Amino acid sequence: MADFDKHPVYGGDAVAVEPQHVYNSDVHFVDEHERKDLARGLKQRHVQMIAIAGAIGTGLFLGLGGSIATGGPLGALLGYGFVGIIVCAIQFALGEVSALFPVTGSFVRHAEILIDPAVGFAVGWNLVYGNWMSVPSEISAGVVLIQYWNTSVNPAVWVTILIVVSVLVAIIFVGVYGEVEFFFAILKILLVIGVVIMGLVIDLGGVPGQQRLGFHYWKNPGPFVEYIGTGAWGQFLGFWAVMSNAVYSFAGVESLAMAAAETQNPRRNIPKACKRVFLRVTLFYVVAILIVGMLVSSADPRLDNDSGTAAQSPFVIAASDAGIKAIPSIVNAVVLTSAWSSSNQAILAGTRTLYGLAVKGHAPKFLLWTTPYGIPFMCVAVQMAFSFLAYMCVSNDALNVFWWLVDLTAAGTLVSWITVAWNHIRLIQALKKQGIPATKLPWHNSWTFYGSWFALVSCIIILFTGGFAVFTAGNWSPSDFVSSYLDIPLVLVAFGGYKLIRRTKWVNLSDIPLAQALEEAQSDPENVPVVKERWWERWNFLW
């Protein structure tokens, strides 16, 4: 048996491995293209705030109203809380695997190493497709928000402006992109804190002329809403119908590891961000939906407003009812930056996944072309070409287009989360098979194996039941069916086709090169302990 030296960063005894599994210096998990062509311009605060910026978007500011109307205040709260627990498990699983394999493309590349190259191919292209849908989705949402002020200008004008600005941000140095997203994330967080405080003031009767509401709307019309069915069954269906919107709202938290090769000290900073992001995002959503459920009745017809403006936002409704005239426009303005920021996050995730596919030969090699500043500009060009789908809102109501793309994006997000959980389960199984303690990983938590199983099963159930309403009497809709379930056959066809053509095999647990990965992690010159926080930094609850 061969012994590694005691590692100063990880600590503990070294892992003993058989000679045939010793580090192969000719093969690296982080590809040469990533080492040479990409710039490590993202700091830990950038990575964490990019994930927060991606998750706090139109799903929070526009989608909560629909969730309250469908599930009621308690049904929506339970739905978002349940998905928040799933996100917790996903984030910890992602952090553990990414600390060992900090590669561009994150869980897509992890699937090739841990499961089957065909899975990596199918999920990678599914993720690229999902981000292709996310960008026009957020742009459509931006048009919805702009139309709150002005409906006389053709929506195509706003779509064009948003696309052009997005392209400019996407092709600049990644560090500048990080600072832009950092700023907008701070803006969004301040808005959430602001509307929560505003909501508490309104609810407790702090606005002159407004009576105290308390939990009035939880009593009348009630904590749950009957959806499709009646009684307890209808209330459960209302709760379950919230799931797709909740998943869409949380979409983006898994993207923080996508640009691992462009992140400083990724083996330390990515797990640190994973650990903190889920708690902050879940807290924001749970508190926000609790406040909204206290301020707006689930029976309020404005929550189902189909005018195509941001008047549907429950925050705008609450402020308007309280007679606070300035708040609706302020909220609308910040939410507009929120939509654009979420679009930028989708561009980052989509382009880096596409770059990772090109690195592994799953996409054309011209996609590896980068600018002198390390930006994969050809990936950006392809990504932005699909943003033109946002022009659908010119001939269709912008809000309708937004909701179509919400369902498409939610299904793709669930496939990504399933892959993250599956990767982690395979990693732990491989460690056990090869006799390597899980504590030897750069970052590990004892409960995460069980959390990954919970997340895996939950995501599969939500994926297959997300569009259940179309199968009930009188609710059949071809467009809703396609948007809810199109993703499933796309992934299966991509997986089956690639496996048939390339004749790939499932990776044997004994063949997963864990010893080499641990050796590479220990030999990484950038893998140094994070500088100890100074006393005032410990009170920083954001990053």
Block mean pLDDT (10 aa), the chain, length 543: 34 39 44 54 66 67 82 92 91 90 82 92 86 79 77 83 84 72 80 85 84 88 91 93 84 69 71 73 83 89 65 78 78 77 79 83 86 82 84 65 64 90 96 92 88 96 90 84 85 94 92 88 62 51 51
User: Vertex 272, ends 266 and 277: CA angle to 5°?
Assistant: 115
User: Helices 63-100 & 266-295, crossing angle to 10 degrees?
Assistant: 160
Q: Identify whether the C-beta of residue 450 lies closer than 8 Å to the C-beta of residue 474.
A: no
In our burial notation (b when 16+ CB lie closer than 10 A, e otherwise), range 436-447 reads beeebbbbbeee
Q: 370: closest CA among 46, 166, 178, 104?
A: 104
End-to-end CA distance of the chain: 43
- What residues have CB less than 8 Å from 190, skipping those under 6 apart? none
Beta-carbon count within 10 A of 246 CB: 28
Give dist(CA 363, CA 368) in Å, integer.
9
Q: What is the pLDDT of residue 190?
A: 83
Q: What is the pLDDT of residue 4?
A: 34
Domain 40-502 has CATH 1.10.490.10: no
Give dist(CA 268, CA 522) in Å, integer.
12
How many residues can be counted in the chain? 543
Residue 120: C-alpha distances to residues 294, 339, 485 (Å): 44, 29, 20
Residue 285: C-alpha distances to residues 132, 175, 247 (Å): 25, 28, 12
- What residues have CB less than 8 Å from 485, skipping those under 6 apart? 411, 466, 467
Q: What is the pLDDT of residue 510?
A: 93
Q: Cα torsion for 244, 247, 248, 249, to the nearest 10°?
A: 120
Q: 42 forms bridges with which residues in the sheet?
A: 263
Q: 402: closest CA among 126, 67, 71, 135?
A: 135
User: No. of H helices and E strands in the chain?
Assistant: 20, 0
Give dist(CA 434, CA 17) in Å, integer.
9
Q: What is the pLDDT of residue 26?
A: 38
* Burial class of residue 361, CB neighbours in 10 A (0-12, 13-18, 19+): exposed
Q: What is the pLDDT of residue 5?
A: 36
Query: Where along the chain do its domains lie?
Result: 40-502
Give dist(CA 289, CA 93) in Å, integer.
26
Q: What is the pTM of this model?
A: 0.82
Determine the 3-state secondary structure of 42 from DSSP: strand
Q: What is the pLDDT of residue 454?
A: 97
Q: What is the pLDDT of residue 238?
A: 93
- What residues have CB less than 8 Å from 103, skipping those under 6 apart? 29, 30, 31, 34, 109, 110, 260, 261, 356
Q: 56: closest CA among 186, 198, 243?
A: 186
Q: What is the pLDDT of residue 240?
A: 93
Q: Identify whether the C-beta of residue 10 lies closer than 8 Å to the C-beta of residue 442.
A: yes
Beta strands in 345-387 (DSSP E): none
Q: What is the pLDDT of residue 93?
A: 93
CA–chain centroid gap for 127, Å, is 11
Q: What is the pLDDT of residue 398?
A: 57
Backbone angles phi, psi at 403, to 5 degrees: -70, -35
Residue 66: C-alpha distances to residues 72, 76, 217 (Å): 9, 9, 16
Give dist(CA 487, CA 177) in Å, integer.
30
Give dist(CA 459, CA 221) in Å, integer.
31
Give dist(CA 486, CA 498) in Å, integer.
19
Give dist(CA 434, CA 15) in Å, integer.
11
Backbone angles phi, psi at 259, to 5 degrees: -105, 40
Query: In the structure encoding, which two tokens stand for residue 10, read together?
Result: 């990880």
In our burial notation (b when 16+ CB lie closer than 10 A, e otherwise), range 18-54 reads eeebebeeeeebbbebbeebbbbbbbbbbbbbbbbbb
